[in-house]
Chain A
Amino acid sequence: MNASTLADRLPLRRAARPLRLNRVLGWCVVYATLALFALFFLAPLFVMVTTSLKSMAEIRGGALIGLPHEVTFQPWIDAWSKACVGVNCTGLSPFFANTFYLVVPATLIPTLIGALNGYALTQVRFRGQNLVYAIILFGCFTPYQAIMIPLANLLGKLGLAGSIPGLIFAHVVYGLPFTTMFFRNYFVSVPRDLTNAARIDGSGFFQTFWHVMLPMSLPIMVVVVIWQFTSIWNDFLFGVAFTTGDQVPIMVALNNIVSSSTGERPYNVDMASAILAALPTLAVYLFAGKYFIRGLMAGSVKG
């Protein structure tokens, strides 16, 4: 390196120093803010977890906040298999099963139909295409409460009232506008050439859907599955309205556990139940969250 290049570099270095300090300070502020909000949002979870690991004797002593002196898993066992839900003291386990029977078909059916709708709405030209989409989209903005009574009426006439199949039906119908919207907006960026190529290859409407479009839609499918799974798992209103007794889904059961306790309120069991009920959605987010974020971004950037 000769003298002239050295001289050229020196002033640049001097200028860079205060800039770097500013940057460090900036990052400190950002991280401090993030940490503060993380603490704020994690605090309730902390109380839930610690309380669920304490015995009632310890809670009665007034130590509601703080780490347990003696860790006990009894509240979790009670919540799973002994806690009284209404009159039956079965714990949450049978309702977990209920909800799985509910959530699997109620997620898969609208996802598949939504994909088919999205494909038809974007890759096939037909009269009134946009009107059909607008009407389907309208379903997204219809509040639950508005359709509650007519839907209950319909389920009664179909002989599905008060049962899990009835609830599945309700969720399928209500999920369709959302799944259609997701798939339609994903498929709209797929070039028409692709379906044209399939047509020339001799592939029919459903063959093209099954072999070409569906495999392509994996990123958005993950989003739709998570969306449907989470909203159905967390649903309370449809569950409490359209099912009864031992057919209720987990969120209704959780409510019943908390409200049906007599005398002393078993905070530890309530907390354990609540965490148990929330675990599947939490797990789904942890395992599939990155696909969720990727899927929501899909289409926004080419490539």
Chain B
Amino acid sequence: MASLSIQNLYKSYGDVSVLKDINIEAEDGEFLVLLGPSGCGKSTLLSAIAGLDDISGGHILIDGESVEGLEPKDRDIAMVFQSYALYPTMSVRKNIEFGMRVRGVPEAEREAAVARVAETLQIQALLERKPGQLSGGQRQRVAIGRALVRSPKIFLFDEPLSNLDAKLRVDMRAEIKKLYQRLRATIVYVTHDQIEAMTLATRIVIMKGGVVQQIGSPEEIYEKPVNTYVASFIGSPPMNLLPATFHQDPSGCWLALADSESRANRLCIPAPREAGALADGQAVLAGIRPEAISLQGEGASASQQCIDARVEVLEPTGSDLYANLSIGGHPLTARLRTRCGLELGPASFCVETSAIQVFDERSGLRIELQDAAQLALEQDDSRAVAGRVSRFPGK
């Protein structure tokens, strides 16, 4: 149990810089997930924390103490590898107790520790087997057992589930979560799977090209992505990013969605929190989650606004219906109820005002807006919303 602090960390191989100015603080008992596509440096960062790789600059502190120059064994960490990395010639028992054996822990103590871990992970029956005789999921348990047995300060997981098949992955994910809830240990977990990150993490670190994009709770990351990269990386299907123009006049702010058809689709939004963050007529990207779009007439309320779109493709998945829409030639995905009676062709949809994000088109950064609830109150009786809803009385 310990805190982890990474300060101004740099890592380069020759001229190639793989980690740039990484700053991460993890409190005691935090489940920190490093998330990013392959080659974003997340595994390198984990190796650096473990002490398997040297760093080129910056500091790593475990429990407030610098671990610079310390060998992995002296950092009091345990690691679970993607390939499990079980010692193939040793039985499961020997695998789990190897770390204690080389540290000279007496046999009785070792046996008790192995028994405790085997019970936790339900692998008592496998103790005398060799790794080659185990299934993928069982190997994974043993690998976790090997980390668990030493009660280290920090657990490091390097894509532990990516070698398992889909069904087993879901099971093991739940087990890791259960284990975490019981142990409340500090965990750093690397994955490229956003579902794993969302379900397990207390905080997610999103990385791209060796740079941290955003650090936040799963909710923050999902609801308030800091830039278009995070917005399109998290969520499946990802957040829709529609080209739009920002407009402002004394009556309020709105976005004019790119629309080649005659009438412009307008979305009222709260004013930017920082006055002057956006200029009238500035090109922006409107970020709308697929589930924030609903068919008009389904529980429409004052917090919603309407847009017209053309339905191009319908993809029923069983639980949901994904509708590929087009607004002025720009694609947009909506996540709807199945059997909602939607058909191909033009249709009208509602968008939750509070779910609209605005990104600067050039920098890709999100523009912080004022609270959406306030806008809804202000516009409760305004003609903008009422007028729009009544425009399509038939639907």
User: A residues within 8 Å of B by Cβ?
Assistant: 191, 193-194, 196-204, 207, 211-212, 215-216, 218
Contact = CB atoms under 8 A, between A and B. Distances in A.
Contacts, number: 62
A49 to B, nearest CB: 42
A193 B88 contact: no
B167 interface: no
Q: Which of A197, A203, A207, A216 gathers the greatest number of chain B CB atoms within 10 Å?
A: A197
A204 B72 CA distance: 11
Contact of A201 (B82, B88, B102): B102
B88 A202 contact: no
Contact of B73 (A193, A194, A201, A211): A201
Interface residues on B, range: 20 to 34
A215 to B, nearest CB: 4
B218 to A, nearest CB: 28
Nearest to B78: A200
B32 interface: no
A200 B50 contact: yes
B102 A191 contact: no
Given A196-B81, A199-B73, A211-B98, 11 more contacts: A194-B87, A196-B47, A196-B50, A197-B146, A200-B77, A200-B79, A201-B99, A201-B146, A203-B98, A216-B88, A218-B89
B107 to A, nearest CB: 16
B85 A193 contact: yes
Contacts of A198: 87, 98
Q: Is the interface of A mostly helix, strand, loop or mixed?
A: helix
Given A191-B85, A196-B85, A203 B79 contact: no
A200 B103 CA distance: 11
Nearest to A212: B87
B151 to A, nearest CB: 14
A203 B52 CA distance: 13
A193 B47 CA distance: 11
A198 to B, nearest CB: 8
A210 to B, nearest CB: 10
Contact of B72 (A193, A199, A212, A218): A199
7 contacts: A196-B50, A196-B81, A199-B71, A199-B73, A203-B98, A216-B87, A218-B89
The 10 A-B residue pairs with the shortest CB-CB distance in the complex, in nearest-first order: A201-B99, A202-B73, A215-B89, A193-B85, A197-B85, A193-B81, A203-B102, A200-B72, A199-B72, A194-B85
B52 A201 contact: no
B83 interface: yes
Contacts of A216: 87-89
Contact of A193 (B78, B82, B102): B82
Nearest to B97: A201
Contacts of B77: 200
A51 to B, nearest CB: 48
A202 B89 contact: no
A42 B159 CA distance: 57
Interface in B59-98: 71-73, 77-79, 81-83, 85-90, 98
Contacts of A218: 89
Contacts of A191: 83, 85
Nearest to A207: B102
Contacts of B146: 197, 201
Given A196-B52, A216-B88, A216-B89, A202 B81 contact: no
A70 B212 CA distance: 90
A191 B71 CA distance: 20
Contacts of A215: 89-90
B85 A201 contact: no
